[in-house]
Amino acid sequence: MPHIHELYDFVVSVFIVHQERRGAERRALLVYHKKYREWLPIGGHIELDEDPEQALYREIEEESGLRVKILAETPPVRHKGVKPIPTPSFVDVHEIDRAHKHIAFIYCGTARTPAVRLHEREHAEYRWFNRKELADPKWGLTPSIRFYCLEAMKKAAGHGR
């Protein structure tokens, strides 16, 4: 999708973790992005007609086809004119190029199955990374991607997933 704003765009991303069975090693999903030529989480722009939660679930469906449980608190406030949305695990600003940045709402989630339906227009491949692979320089993962993957694994462990 083209950029919505000139300097900053709002985006969502989700670091999805899967554990094949109880006691098995947890793995984090990353997709190889054709345009950026790097391993990234599922995610994308928040469209002008949607809120972060809507964008989150749309991106998950479009890019993976997975059913994902988001590991986040949603404020218990409900009344007319207010829609609480899940609180992101992290928020960051990252540079796309010198003239453009993304403000990212970063979520963690779990998937019951590893069967990804790849969005082939955007992604060349997907991989479920274990801890050892996350640390391996051959994958070229940025420190922030490694950090968020490991944090998602910790969060998933805390939720019994």
Is there a domain that residue 136 lies in?
yes
Greatest Cα pair distance in the chain: 51
Q: What is the pLDDT of residue 78?
A: 83
Location of structure tokens 């990374």: 129
Q: Is residue 48 part of a domain?
A: yes
Q: Is residue 1 part of a domain?
A: no
How much is the pLDDT for 6?
A: 76
Residue 2 lies in a domain: no
Q: Where do the H-state alpha helices sit in the chain?
A: 52-63, 131-135, 143-158
Provide the residue range defining the domain that includes 42.
8-158
Asked if residue 65 is part of any domain, the answer here is: yes
Give the model's pLDDT for residue 2: 59
Is the dihedral angle over the CA atoms 157, 158, 160, 161 positive or is it negative? negative
According to the model, what pLDDT value does residue 160 have? 58
In a domain, 3, yes or no: no
The number of distinct structural domains making up the chain is 1
Is the separation of the CB atoms in 88 and 106 below 8 Å? yes
Burial 92-104 (b: 16+ CB within 10 A, else e): eeeeeeeeebbeb
User: In this structure, what token pair is assigned to residue 36?
Assistant: 């950026």
3 state SS of 71: coil
The pair of structure tokens assigned to 107 is 């979520």
* Residue 105, H or E segment: strand 100-111
pLDDT top residue among 56 and 3: 56
Is residue 41 one of the residues assigned to a domain? Answer: yes
Write the pLDDT tens digit of every residue in 96-151. 888 899 999 999 999 999 999 988 888 889 999 999 999 999 999 999 999 999 99
* pLDDT range class, residue 3, cuts 50, 70, 90: low
Task: Express each pLDDT in 58-94 by its tens digit.
Answer: 999 999 999 999 999 999 988 899 999 999 999 999 9
pLDDT tens figures, 11-32: 999 999 999 888 889 999 999 9
**pTM of the predicted model over 0.85:** yes
CATH number for the domain including 113?
3.90.79.10
Q: How many residues does the chain have?
A: 161
For the four alpha carbons of 119, 124, 69 and 81, in that order, the dihedral sign comes to negative
